[in-house]
């Protein structure tokens, strides 16, 4: 028995589905492989090799010759390199107008000027040598005038969005630093001030030098005070590729001369005036002025002694003007404590009816001869500290607070000191300032309610008269004169 076997074939639909699947897979593989991009990357590898060769050749030329190839000397913007092939300089067979001719690098620094893999080249034979006759190489070059380094790029290297092939092009993203550096004045008077301002466009940082040492930003201002010598302020501002430096010179005028006068303020002898430069520092004259009956205390910028005080030979800084120093005097200490010496009696006399005390207590201030001890006892143990107009011991308060002739060590005199002083004036003539027939309080106490007063009378029998007056009554005692 014969059996017949039949095989089932693919249908048309099945075949179309298989073909479609194969086409889709092939497309995916082609997209993944991207042969065009692969070829572009290969070309960029060649471009990297070419511009490195050119960069190295140009740098070596500069090292050997201390200058760039002639066509590069003044080129600061990227310009395409002329396709001179193996030509050596000089040559006239290739037209390089508007391009950079680097043929003088051949053959010592490079065997031939390289060209971009995509540059079409036509050749002709001259004396059995091959020369390129097209113009551009596809590579650009420039020299950064600031850093003096070559910049090279491959024009066609960014196909398929690849990273550009370039050397030294970071500078192309930077502008040269523009510096505006000014002063309020470049000529000032001695000891005056100046303000300088700056603004450095396209700079990343600034540093100072010369007579200016500071950390600053790329813009701002600052003031320099009390300048006495000419100053040079230097400012250097930079970015990654460019640096700009400027210097401002501030001319300071010479110091002026002024006169220092020693005013004797009633004295007899003293130093002569001096000419001194403003703001100069030197010692005052060592000469001590003199005044009869007084001792010199100090020099002062105020006649009344309320200014700055200086001693002879002290260091003194001359201001920017004429200056006067006034002598300050104290009543001579020699002879004080002596009631017959007029210098020991105050010139100030309290001409009011004034009380010895408001308190009727026995104080123990009973010395007939030592007014200082009487006075100190009252002040230390009984006085309320108020001035005489409101004090519990007015006569003592007046002498305690008195400043007379530059002296402050006054006290209310004792009974005997007043007696000697009055006699010295009205009998001996060595003292002045007392008034006839006026009672003066002494510091000598009698009892708790009374104290001694003294006067000099020229009526009937001239001489000293004593009063034994109530401390708290002013009807008979009129005056207070202090002693030292």
- Cα separation, 77 vs 34, in Å, equals 35
Percent of the chain with pLDDT over 70: 88
* Mean of pLDDT over the chain: 86
Bridge partners for 277 per DSSP: 257
Confidence of residue 2 (pLDDT cuts 50, 70, 90): low
Residue 78 and residue 153 share a domain = yes
Residue 350 and residue 320 share a domain = no
Residue 166 and residue 93 share a domain = yes
pLDDT of 128 strictly over 80: no
Q: Which of 284, 311, 331 is the last residue of a domain?
A: 331
Range with lowest mean pLDDT among 84-98, 127-141, 459-473: 127-141
Q: Which pLDDT score, from 0 to 100, does residue 365 have?
A: 94
Residue 348 and residue 326 share a domain = no
Secondary structure of residue 198 in the 3-state scheme: strand
Confidence of residue 283 (pLDDT cuts 50, 70, 90): very high
Bridge partners for 441 per DSSP: 453
120 or 265, which is more confident?
A: 265
> What is the average per-residue pLDDT within 145-164?
84
Q: Which pLDDT score, from 0 to 100, does residue 30 have?
A: 58
Range with lowest mean pLDDT among 78-87, 308-317, 360-369, 377-386: 78-87
pLDDT of 292 strictly over 90: no
Let me know if residue 336 belongs to a domain: no
Q: Which of 331, 365, 381 is the last residue of a domain?
A: 331
Let me know if residue 28 belongs to a domain: no
128 or 339, which is more confident?
A: 339
Residue 189 and residue 134 share a domain = no
Look up tokens 């006569």; give the residue. 395
Residue 164 and residue 47 share a domain = yes
Let me know if residue 1 belongs to a domain: no
Query: For 159-204, what is each residue's pLDDT tens digit?
Result: 888 888 888 776 665 677 889 999 999 999 998 999 999 999 988 8
Residue 215 and residue 264 share a domain = no
Residue 404 and residue 347 share a domain = yes
Let me know if residue 153 belongs to a domain: yes
Phi/psi of residue 73, each to 5°?
-55, -35
Let me know if residue 156 belongs to a domain: yes
Residue 234 and residue 182 share a domain = yes
Let me know if residue 19 belongs to a domain: no
Mean pLDDT comparison of 27-36, 145-154, 224-233, highest-scoring range = 224-233
> Long-range pairs for 455-463 at CB < 8 Å and ≥24 separation?
455/422, 456/422, 456/423, 456/425, 456/426, 458/426, 462/426
Bridge partners for 326 per DSSP: 263, 300
Output the six-digit token pair for 301.
């910028």
pLDDT of 21 strictly over 90: no
128 or 229, which is more confident?
A: 229
Bridge partners for 470 per DSSP: 450
Residue 291 and residue 247 share a domain = no
482 or 89, which is more confident?
A: 482
Task: Name, in order, each residue with C-beta under 8 angstroms of 144's C-beta and a sequence gap of 6 or more.
Answer: 76, 150, 151, 168, 171, 241
- 38-64 in b/e form (b: 16+ CB < 10 A) is eebeebbeebeebbebbbebbeebbee
pLDDT of 131 strictly over 50: no
> What is the average per-residue pLDDT within 351-365?
89
Q: Which of 114, 146, 172 is the last residue of a domain?
A: 172
Tally of domains in the chain: 4
Residue 432 and residue 366 share a domain = yes
354 or 3, which is more confident?
A: 354
Of the chain, the end-to-end C-alpha distance in Å amounts to 173
Let me know if residue 201 belongs to a domain: yes
pLDDT of 23 strictly over 70: yes
Let me know if residue 241 belongs to a domain: yes
Q: Which pLDDT score, from 0 to 100, does residue 434 have?
A: 92
236 or 243, which is more confident?
A: 236
The answer to whether residues 329 and 294 touch, using CB atoms and an 8 Å cutoff, is yes
Look up tokens 């100030």; give the residue. 348
Secondary structure of residue 378 in the 3-state scheme: helix
- Cα separation, 169 vs 146, in Å, equals 13
Q: Which pLDDT score, from 0 to 100, does residue 125 have?
A: 39
Bridge partners for 237 per DSSP: 206, 244
Bridge partners for 192 per DSSP: 227
The answer to whether residues 356 and 473 touch, using CB atoms and an 8 Å cutoff, is no
Q: Which pLDDT score, from 0 to 100, does residue 63 have?
A: 92
> What is the average per-residue pLDDT within 367-373?
90
Residue 356 and residue 469 share a domain = yes
Cα angle: 76, vertex 178, 148; to 5 degrees: 30
How many alpha carbons fall within 13 Å on the CB side of residue 187? 0
pLDDT of 1 strictly over 60: no
Q: Which pLDDT score, from 0 to 100, does residue 223 have?
A: 94
Phi/psi of residue 444, each to 5°?
-90, 120
> What is the average per-residue pLDDT within 221-228?
93
Is the pTM value of this prediction over 0.85?
no
Query: For 32-86, what is each residue's pLDDT tens digit?
Result: 557 778 888 999 899 999 999 999 999 999 999 999 998 888 777 889 999 888 8
Q: Which domain range does residue 130 map to?
A: 37-172
pLDDT of 294 strictly over 90: no
Q: Which pLDDT score, from 0 to 100, does residue 473 have?
A: 79
Secondary structure of residue 295 in the 3-state scheme: strand
Q: Which pLDDT score, from 0 to 100, does residue 352 have?
A: 75
The answer to whether residues 120 and 134 touch, using CB atoms and an 8 Å cutoff, is yes
- Cα separation, 470 vs 344, in Å, equals 27
Confidence of residue 123 (pLDDT cuts 50, 70, 90): very low
Cα angle: 326, vertex 331, 337; to 5 degrees: 165
CB atoms within 10 A of CB 169: 16
DSSP 291: B
């Amino acid at each position: 028995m014969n059996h017949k076997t039949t095989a089932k074939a693919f249908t048309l639909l099945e075949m179309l589905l298989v073909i479609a699947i194969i086409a889709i897979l092939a497309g995916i593989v082609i997209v993944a492989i991207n042969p065009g991009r692969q070829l572009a990357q290969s070309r960029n590898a060649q471009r990297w090799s070419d511009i490195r060769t050119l960069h190295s050749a140009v740098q070596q030329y500069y090292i050997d010759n201390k200058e760039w190839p002639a066509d590069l000397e003044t080129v600061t913007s990227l310009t395409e390199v002329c396709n001179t092939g193996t030509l050596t300089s000089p040559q006239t067979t290739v037209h390089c107008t508007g391009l950079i001719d680097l043929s003088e690098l051949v053959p010592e620094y490079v065997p031939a000027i390289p060209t971009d893999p995509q540059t079409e080249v036509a050749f002709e034979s001259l004396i059995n040598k091959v020369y390129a006759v097209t113009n551009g190489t596809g590579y650009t070059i420039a020299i950064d005038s600031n850093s003096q380094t070559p910049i090279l790029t491959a024009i066609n290297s960014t196909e398929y969005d690849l990273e550009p092939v370039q050397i030294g092009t970071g500078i192309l993203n930077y502008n040269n630093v523009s510096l505006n550096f000014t002063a309020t004045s470049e000529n000032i008077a001695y000891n005056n001030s100046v303000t300088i301002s700056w603004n450095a466009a396209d700079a990343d940082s600034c540093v100072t030098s010369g007579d200016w040492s500071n950390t600053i930003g790329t813009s701002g201002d600052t003031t320099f005070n009390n300048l006495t010598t000419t100053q040079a302020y230097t400012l250097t501002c930079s970015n990654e590729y460019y640096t700009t430096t400027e210097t401002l010179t501030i001319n300071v005028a010479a110091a002026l001369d002024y006169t220092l006068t020693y005013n004797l303020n009633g004295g007899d002898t003293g130093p002569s005036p001096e000419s001194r430069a403003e703001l100069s520092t030197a010692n005052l004259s060592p000469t001590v002025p003199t005044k009869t009956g007084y001792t010199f205390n100090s020099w002062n910028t105020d006649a009344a002694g309320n200014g700055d005080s200086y001693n002879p030979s002290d260091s003194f800084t001359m201001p920017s003007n004429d200056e006067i120093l006034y002598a300050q005097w104290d009543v001579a200490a020699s002879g004080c404590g002596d009631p017959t010496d007029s210098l020991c009696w105050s010139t100030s006399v309290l001409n009011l009816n004034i009380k010895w005390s408001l308190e009727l207590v026995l104080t123990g201030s009973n010395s007939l001869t030592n007014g200082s001890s009487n006075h100190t006892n009252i002040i230390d143990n009984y006085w309320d500290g108020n001035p005489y107009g409101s004090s519990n011991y007015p006569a003592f308060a007046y002498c305690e607070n008195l400043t007379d002739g530059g002296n402050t060590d006054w006290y209310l005199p004792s009974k005997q000191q007043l007696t000697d002083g009055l006699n010295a004036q009205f009998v001996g003539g060595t003292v002045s300032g007392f008034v006839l027939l006026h009672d003066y309080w002494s510091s000598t106490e009698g009892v708790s309610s009374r104290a001694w007063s003294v006067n000099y009378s020229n009526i009937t029998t001239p001489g000293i008269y004593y009063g034994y007056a109530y401390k708290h009554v002013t009807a008979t005692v009129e005056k207070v004169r202090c002693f030292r």
